[in-house]
Chain A
């Protein structure tokens, strides 16, 4: 009887194998001799089988296929309601600018608008310009190309600094914003001048690349100290979105191969 009481007290621990081996063996031996406890054990096993055996209905392929879209939509919705936080990193089709980024984004947009208006509606100076912007100097197509590639190379280090900056935790002072601003302003001038020298049709890609660079340099040149990490995040996004570092690398590879590919054709003898 004492063993029956012990069994009743310990049967769940026995079932889950949570007893010391000696105690478990003693109880199992008791089950061999006590039909009452044996029935109770059998019933416990049966109950556990019933309780734990189950199937989960598959919600279907359509559910799984649409799972991400629904989740992303909810994240965007909650992000908007919460004033926009980390979900702004998600790109789910609809561009969402978090509230804290609105002012810097608006400033950049105005600047870009200014440039577009300036280029399209202000009287253009048709005289060729040198790379520093002064009139009256024309580069050869090859020089314009080489200088453009060199400028792209110079900009890479700066862009990498922004691309690798952790806007959430990074210390903006490590970027040395005043220096970057100054360098950007200089490079911007050169990029703009060089772009006008690239007139050959095969320089179209290089010209577009310079235009992308100009856009980012413009953002950096207008970076204010008080803008903080938010503005850096915008610049970092521009670098990412335009894949400019990748494009510059591609251009460098192309240029490195250029002398071999486009060298003077050799006279072939058949």
Chain B
């Protein structure tokens, strides 16, 4: 596989096929990050495309200080944060619908009992809702930490904030999500602190 830097150099020289190679090397990573950030396939596809377009337009600004994929992650996160807040409202409304439950979350229980399956489905809905109710920054930090498994230091670099900010944002996100889970369980649960 040609080296990333060589591909970038070739793109900057006007060789379009090289950009295709760069996209194909990173499309899955960026699509799945976008899926984690947006919560649905349509928006994920849209966001991931936007990331590559921005990368292409600004490729001459890529200094090679981080890996190309980290740079793409940074673009994805920033693009997602900067997206229209109206969209956020729409996502919120959509995510509260039971119809969207279970699309993006693994079955929480292998139990075949229909009642329990319904419980699991409901729980998934609440988790999706909880994710959607996080602020964009909170969701980004949570997703990068738990679904992309980045260390906090790298999340700080991607999001251009301090590690302390990453930590406080992550803890706030977790508290909110646990609160949502607790309200789902409903009985005998105290509010998580």
Report whether over half of chain B's contact residues are helix, strand or loop; otherwise say mixed: helix
Q: Which residues of B contact A262 (CB under 8 A)?
A: none
Q: In the bound complex, do residue A47 and residue B56 qualify as a contact, i.e. CB atoms below 8 Å apart?
A: no
In the assembled complex, 14 residue pairs joining A and B whose CB atoms fall closer than 8 Å, in A order, are: A12-B175, A13-B171, A16-B152, A18-B152, A48-B174, A50-B108, A51-B178, A51-B181, A52-B146, A55-B104, A57-B104, A64-B28, A67-B27, A68-B23
Write the nearest CB–CB distance from B110 to chain A, whole angstroms.
12
Q: Confirm or deny: B106 has a beta carbon within 8 angstroms of a beta carbon on chain A.
A: yes
Number of interface residues of B (CB under 8 A): 44
Q: In the bound complex, do residue A54 and residue B14 qualify as a contact, i.e. CB atoms below 8 Å apart?
A: no
Q: In the bound complex, do residue A75 and residue B106 qualify as a contact, i.e. CB atoms below 8 Å apart?
A: no
Residue of B nearest to A89 (CB): B14
User: Which chain B residues in 18-62 approach chain A with CB under 8 Å?
Assistant: 19-20, 23-24, 27-28, 31-32, 35-36, 41, 45, 49, 52-53, 56-57, 60
Residue of B nearest to A8 (CB): B193
Contact string against B for A residues 218-254, beta-carbon threshold 8 Å, 1 for contact and 0 otherwise: 0000000000000000001100100000000000000
Residue of A nearest to B146 (CB): A52
Q: In the bound complex, do residue B104 and residue A56 qualify as a contact, i.e. CB atoms below 8 Å apart?
A: yes
Residue of B nearest to A233 (CB): B14
- Find A74's partner among B28, B53, B106 (CB 8 Å cutoff): B53
Given contacts A51-B174, A75-B53, whether A240 and B14 have CB atoms under 8 Å apart is yes
Q: Which residues of A contact B160 (CB under 8 A)?
A: none
Q: Which residues of B contact A67 (CB under 8 A)?
A: 23-24, 27, 31
Q: Confirm or deny: B167 has a beta carbon within 8 angstroms of a beta carbon on chain A.
A: yes
CB within 8 Å of B: which residues of A? 8, 12-13, 16, 18, 43-44, 47-48, 50-57, 59, 63-64, 67-68, 70-72, 74-75, 78, 85-87, 89-92, 168-169, 236-237, 240
Q: Confirm or deny: B158 has a beta carbon within 8 angstroms of a beta carbon on chain A.
A: no
- Find A70's partner among B49, B123, B127 (CB 8 Å cutoff): B49
Once the chains are docked, how many angstroms separate the CA of A43 from the CA of B185?
A: 12
Q: Which residues of A contact B178 (CB under 8 A)?
A: 44, 47, 51
Once the chains are docked, how many angstroms separate the CA of A175 from the CA of B192?
A: 70
A-B contact count (CB 8 A): 95
Q: In the bound complex, do residue B20 and residue A68 qualify as a contact, i.e. CB atoms below 8 Å apart?
A: yes
Report whether over half of chain A's contact residues are helix, strand or loop; otherwise say mixed: helix
Q: Which residues of A contact B41 (CB under 8 A)?
A: 57, 59
Q: Confirm or deny: B165 has a beta carbon within 8 angstroms of a beta carbon on chain A.
A: no
Q: In the bound complex, do residue A71 and residue B146 qualify as a contact, i.e. CB atoms below 8 Å apart?
A: no
Write the nearest CB–CB distance from A169 to chain B, whole angstroms.
8
Q: Which residues of A contact B130 (CB under 8 A)?
A: 51
Q: In the bound complex, do residue A237 and residue B105 qualify as a contact, i.e. CB atoms below 8 Å apart?
A: no
Q: Which residues of A contact B127 (CB under 8 A)?
A: 50-51
Q: Which residues of A contact B11 (CB under 8 A)?
A: 89
The list of the 6 closest CB pairs from A to B, nearest first, reads: A55-B106, A52-B146, A90-B16, A91-B16, A12-B171, A89-B14
Q: Which residues of B contact A47 (CB under 8 A)?
A: 177-178, 181, 192
